[in-house]
Amino acid sequence: MQQKVPGITVARAEQGYVMYKQKCSGCHRLHAASERTIAQWDTILIKMLPKAKVHDEATQGLITDYLHALSK
């Protein structure tokens, strides 16, 4: 995880997963973070975070860090 998101902690990754699950599972199944690359997640998040009504930067950062840290 540290190679992809320097400074990330296990606690932050866990918080990111909780937010990802809470904000994204209401409309579709959750995709494993390892299904996509960082670039692919970035493309998806630009579109999906507003749809999920995730507007605050703190929550966006948690979700993004979680997905990036465990991406392929």
3-state secondary structure 4-62: CCCCCCHHHHHHHHHHHHHHHCCCCCCCCHHHCCHHHHHHHHHHHHHHCCCCCHHHHHH
CA 3, CA 50: separation in Å to the nearest integer? 28
pLDDT band, residue 69 (cuts 50/70/90): very high
Residue 49 has a pLDDT of 97
Task: Kindly report, residue by residue over 7-54, the tens digit of the pLDDT.
Answer: 999 999 999 999 999 999 999 999 999 999 999 999 999 999 999 999
Residue 37 has a pLDDT of 98
Residue 25 has a pLDDT of 95
Could you state, in order of their start, the residue ranges of all structural domains in the chain? 10-69
Residue 45 has a pLDDT of 98
The single-letter code of the amino acid at 68 is: H
The single-letter code of the amino acid at 38 is: I
Residue 39 has a pLDDT of 98
